[in-house]
Chain A
Amino acid sequence: EVQLLESGGGLVQPGGSLRLSCAASGFAFSSYAMTWVRQAPGKGLEWVSSITGSGDKTYHADSVEGRFTISRENSKNTLYLQMNSLRAEDTAVYYCAKGHSFCTSTSCYFDFWGQGTLVTVSS
Protein backbone atom coordinates (compact mmCIF):
# COMPACT_ATOMS: atom_id res chain seq x y z
CA GLU A 1 0.00 0.00 0.00
CA VAL A 2 1.36 3.39 -1.00
CA GLN A 3 1.71 5.77 1.90
CA LEU A 4 2.99 9.33 2.02
CA LEU A 5 3.40 10.99 5.40
CA GLU A 6 4.30 14.67 5.58
CA SER A 7 5.84 16.29 8.64
CA GLY A 8 7.66 19.44 9.64
CA GLY A 9 4.88 21.98 9.42
CA GLY A 10 4.15 24.52 12.12
CA LEU A 11 4.13 28.18 13.05
CA VAL A 12 7.05 30.29 11.86
CA GLN A 13 7.73 34.01 11.80
CA PRO A 14 8.04 35.92 8.54
CA GLY A 15 11.56 35.58 7.20
CA GLY A 16 12.03 32.27 8.96
CA SER A 17 12.74 28.79 7.62
CA LEU A 18 11.19 25.35 7.78
CA ARG A 19 12.01 21.99 6.26
CA LEU A 20 9.14 19.72 5.32
CA SER A 21 9.61 15.98 4.96
CA CYS A 22 7.52 13.37 3.19
CA ALA A 23 8.19 9.76 4.16
CA ALA A 24 7.18 7.35 1.41
CA SER A 25 6.46 3.65 1.55
CA GLY A 26 4.82 0.94 -0.52
CA PHE A 27 6.46 1.71 -3.85
CA ALA A 28 9.89 1.98 -5.49
CA PHE A 29 10.47 5.55 -4.39
CA SER A 30 13.50 6.29 -6.57
CA SER A 31 11.57 5.37 -9.72
CA TYR A 32 8.97 8.12 -9.45
CA ALA A 33 8.84 11.85 -9.82
CA MET A 34 7.52 13.58 -6.73
CA THR A 35 5.94 16.95 -6.18
CA TRP A 36 4.81 19.42 -3.54
CA VAL A 37 1.44 21.14 -3.92
CA ARG A 38 0.05 23.66 -1.46
CA GLN A 39 -3.38 24.99 -0.60
CA ALA A 40 -3.88 28.26 1.25
CA PRO A 41 -6.86 28.33 3.64
CA GLY A 42 -10.09 28.37 1.64
CA LYS A 43 -8.21 28.58 -1.67
CA GLY A 44 -7.37 26.29 -4.57
CA LEU A 45 -4.42 24.06 -5.30
CA GLU A 46 -1.05 25.59 -6.22
CA TRP A 47 1.84 23.56 -7.60
CA VAL A 48 5.06 24.37 -5.73
CA SER A 49 7.94 22.11 -6.83
CA SER A 50 8.73 18.84 -8.59
CA ILE A 51 11.75 16.55 -8.74
CA THR A 52 12.71 13.62 -10.95
CA GLY A 53 13.13 10.13 -9.51
CA SER A 54 16.91 10.38 -9.50
CA GLY A 55 16.84 13.92 -8.17
CA ASP A 56 18.86 15.27 -11.09
CA LYS A 57 16.22 17.79 -12.17
CA THR A 58 14.05 20.09 -10.10
CA TYR A 59 11.43 22.69 -10.96
CA HIS A 60 9.86 25.40 -8.83
CA ALA A 61 6.96 27.78 -9.23
CA ASP A 62 7.89 31.42 -9.77
CA SER A 63 6.27 32.27 -6.43
CA VAL A 64 8.86 30.22 -4.53
CA GLU A 65 11.86 30.27 -6.89
CA GLY A 66 15.01 31.19 -4.99
CA ARG A 67 13.39 30.64 -1.59
CA PHE A 68 12.25 26.99 -1.65
CA THR A 69 14.33 23.95 -2.61
CA ILE A 70 12.96 20.48 -3.30
CA SER A 71 15.24 17.50 -2.75
CA ARG A 72 15.04 13.80 -2.04
CA GLU A 73 17.03 11.13 -0.26
CA ASN A 74 16.23 7.90 -2.08
CA SER A 75 18.14 5.77 0.43
CA LYS A 76 15.65 6.95 3.07
CA ASN A 77 12.56 7.06 0.80
CA THR A 78 12.09 10.67 1.80
CA LEU A 79 11.18 13.85 -0.04
CA TYR A 80 12.03 17.28 1.35
CA LEU A 81 11.04 20.89 0.87
CA GLN A 82 13.42 23.46 2.35
CA MET A 83 11.56 26.72 2.76
CA ASN A 84 13.50 29.92 3.46
CA SER A 85 12.53 33.58 3.66
CA LEU A 86 8.96 32.60 4.44
CA ARG A 87 6.17 35.08 3.86
CA ALA A 88 2.60 35.32 5.12
CA GLU A 89 1.38 34.24 1.67
CA ASP A 90 3.21 30.92 2.07
CA THR A 91 0.68 29.95 4.75
CA ALA A 92 -0.96 26.77 3.46
CA VAL A 93 -1.38 23.05 3.79
CA TYR A 94 1.50 21.44 1.92
CA TYR A 95 0.89 18.11 0.23
CA CYS A 96 3.46 15.75 -1.22
CA ALA A 97 2.30 13.60 -4.11
CA LYS A 98 3.66 10.72 -6.18
CA GLY A 99 3.95 10.87 -9.94
CA HIS A 100 1.85 8.38 -11.86
CA SER A 101 3.67 5.32 -13.17
CA PHE A 102 2.85 6.35 -16.75
CA CYS A 103 4.79 9.60 -16.41
CA THR A 104 8.28 9.70 -17.81
CA SER A 105 9.24 13.09 -16.43
CA THR A 106 8.16 15.70 -13.93
CA SER A 107 5.49 16.96 -16.37
CA CYS A 108 3.16 14.60 -14.68
CA TYR A 109 -0.05 13.87 -12.84
CA PHE A 110 -0.24 12.50 -9.34
CA ASP A 111 -1.97 9.36 -8.19
CA PHE A 112 -1.17 9.26 -4.46
CA TRP A 113 -1.16 12.16 -2.04
CA GLY A 114 -0.24 12.59 1.60
CA GLN A 115 -2.62 14.04 4.17
CA GLY A 116 -0.80 17.37 4.19
CA THR A 117 1.06 19.43 6.78
CA LEU A 118 0.05 22.96 7.76
CA VAL A 119 2.57 25.77 7.56
CA THR A 120 1.55 29.05 9.18
CA VAL A 121 3.70 32.13 8.67
CA SER A 122 2.79 34.79 11.19
CA SER A 123 4.34 37.03 13.80
Chain B
Amino acid sequence: DIQMTQSPSSLSASVGDRVTITCRASQSISRYLNWYQQKPGEAPKLLIYAASTLQTGVPSRFSGSGSGTDFTLTISSLQSEDFAAYYCQQSFRDILTFGGGTTVEIK
Protein backbone atom coordinates (compact mmCIF):
# COMPACT_ATOMS: atom_id res chain seq x y z
CA ASP B 1 0.00 0.00 0.00
CA ILE B 2 1.06 3.59 -0.56
CA GLN B 3 1.95 5.40 2.65
CA MET B 4 1.24 9.12 2.97
CA THR B 5 3.28 11.19 5.43
CA GLN B 6 2.23 14.70 6.37
CA SER B 7 4.31 17.32 8.11
CA PRO B 8 4.09 18.99 10.45
CA SER B 9 1.50 17.13 12.52
CA SER B 10 0.46 20.46 14.01
CA LEU B 11 1.36 24.11 13.71
CA SER B 12 0.45 27.38 15.37
CA ALA B 13 -0.16 30.42 13.22
CA SER B 14 -1.79 33.82 13.30
CA VAL B 15 -4.46 35.32 11.09
CA GLY B 16 -2.77 36.65 7.97
CA ASP B 17 0.13 34.19 8.07
CA ARG B 18 1.18 32.14 5.09
CA VAL B 19 0.91 28.45 5.98
CA THR B 20 2.46 25.49 4.18
CA ILE B 21 1.69 21.82 4.79
CA THR B 22 3.66 19.03 3.16
CA CYS B 23 2.58 15.55 2.12
CA ARG B 24 4.99 12.87 0.93
CA ALA B 25 4.04 9.60 -0.76
CA SER B 26 6.01 6.38 -0.31
CA GLN B 27 6.11 5.97 -4.10
CA SER B 28 5.34 8.14 -7.09
CA ILE B 29 1.64 8.94 -7.41
CA SER B 30 1.91 11.36 -10.33
CA ARG B 31 -0.59 14.10 -9.47
CA TYR B 32 -3.22 11.85 -7.83
CA LEU B 33 -3.17 13.80 -4.59
CA ASN B 34 -6.13 15.44 -2.87
CA TRP B 35 -6.53 17.69 0.15
CA TYR B 36 -9.37 17.90 2.67
CA GLN B 37 -10.20 20.25 5.52
CA GLN B 38 -12.00 19.04 8.62
CA LYS B 39 -13.32 21.21 11.42
CA PRO B 40 -14.17 19.73 14.85
CA GLY B 41 -17.45 17.82 14.82
CA GLU B 42 -17.83 18.13 11.06
CA ALA B 43 -17.30 15.88 8.05
CA PRO B 44 -14.24 16.43 5.86
CA LYS B 45 -14.50 18.90 3.00
CA LEU B 46 -12.70 18.50 -0.32
CA LEU B 47 -10.40 21.46 -0.97
CA ILE B 48 -8.09 20.46 -3.80
CA TYR B 49 -7.93 17.48 -6.15
CA ALA B 50 -5.39 16.33 -8.71
CA ALA B 51 -2.68 18.12 -6.73
CA SER B 52 -3.63 21.65 -7.72
CA THR B 53 -7.26 21.94 -8.87
CA LEU B 54 -9.41 23.95 -6.50
CA GLN B 55 -12.78 22.37 -5.73
CA THR B 56 -15.75 24.57 -6.61
CA GLY B 57 -16.44 27.14 -3.93
CA VAL B 58 -13.07 26.90 -2.19
CA PRO B 59 -11.40 30.29 -1.62
CA SER B 60 -8.44 31.14 -3.83
CA ARG B 61 -6.15 31.60 -0.82
CA PHE B 62 -5.85 27.81 -0.86
CA SER B 63 -3.46 26.33 -3.40
CA GLY B 64 -1.79 23.00 -4.02
CA SER B 65 1.34 21.98 -5.85
CA GLY B 66 3.61 19.03 -6.45
CA SER B 67 3.88 15.80 -8.37
CA GLY B 68 5.52 12.43 -7.95
CA THR B 69 6.11 12.00 -4.25
CA ASP B 70 6.15 15.52 -2.79
CA PHE B 71 3.15 17.80 -2.47
CA THR B 72 2.28 21.04 -0.74
CA LEU B 73 -0.90 22.73 0.45
CA THR B 74 -0.51 26.48 0.93
CA ILE B 75 -2.87 28.94 2.58
CA SER B 76 -1.66 32.34 1.41
CA SER B 77 -3.25 34.42 4.17
CA LEU B 78 -4.73 32.43 7.02
CA GLN B 79 -8.27 33.38 8.04
CA SER B 80 -10.05 32.60 11.30
CA GLU B 81 -12.24 30.02 9.58
CA ASP B 82 -9.15 28.12 8.36
CA PHE B 83 -8.20 26.82 11.79
CA ALA B 84 -8.87 23.13 11.27
CA ALA B 85 -7.27 19.79 10.45
CA TYR B 86 -5.99 19.12 6.96
CA TYR B 87 -5.52 15.72 5.35
CA CYS B 88 -3.92 14.60 2.12
CA GLN B 89 -5.21 11.52 0.29
CA GLN B 90 -3.78 9.59 -2.64
CA SER B 91 -6.05 8.30 -5.39
CA PHE B 92 -3.33 6.65 -7.49
CA ARG B 93 -4.48 3.17 -6.47
CA ASP B 94 -7.90 1.72 -5.69
CA ILE B 95 -6.52 1.03 -2.20
CA LEU B 96 -6.75 4.60 -0.97
CA THR B 97 -4.75 6.13 1.86
CA PHE B 98 -4.84 9.33 3.87
CA GLY B 99 -2.02 11.19 5.50
CA GLY B 100 -1.96 11.44 9.26
CA GLY B 101 -3.27 14.99 9.27
CA THR B 102 -2.04 18.46 10.18
CA THR B 103 -3.83 20.54 12.78
CA VAL B 104 -3.62 24.30 12.26
CA GLU B 105 -4.07 26.05 15.60
CA ILE B 106 -4.33 29.68 16.63
CA LYS B 107 -1.09 31.18 17.91
| A interface residue numbers (CB < 8 A to B) | 35, 37, 44-47, 50, 57, 59, 61-62, 95, 97, 100, 102-103, 105-111, 113-116
Contact = CB atoms under 8 A, between A and B. Distances in A.
Interface of B: 1, 32, 34, 36, 38, 43-46, 49, 55, 85, 87, 89, 91-101
A115 B49 contact: no
B56 to A, nearest CB: 8
Nearest to A48: B96
B98 A47 contact: yes
B98 A106 contact: no
Majority SS at the chain A contact face: loop
5 contacts: A62-B1, A97-B43, A100-B49, A106-B94, A111-B55
Q: What 5 pairs between A and B have smallest CB-CB spacing?
A: A113-B43, A109-B34, A44-B101, A47-B96, A45-B98
Contacts, number: 63
A110 B100 CA distance: 18
Nearest to B36: A45
A105 B94 contact: yes
Nearest to B32: A107
B46 A47 contact: no
B43 A109 contact: no
Please indicate which of the listed interface residues B45, B91, B97 has the most CB atoms of chain A within 10 Å of its own CB.
Answer: B91
Contacts of A62: 1
Contact of A102 (B43, B49, B94): B49
B94 A46 contact: no
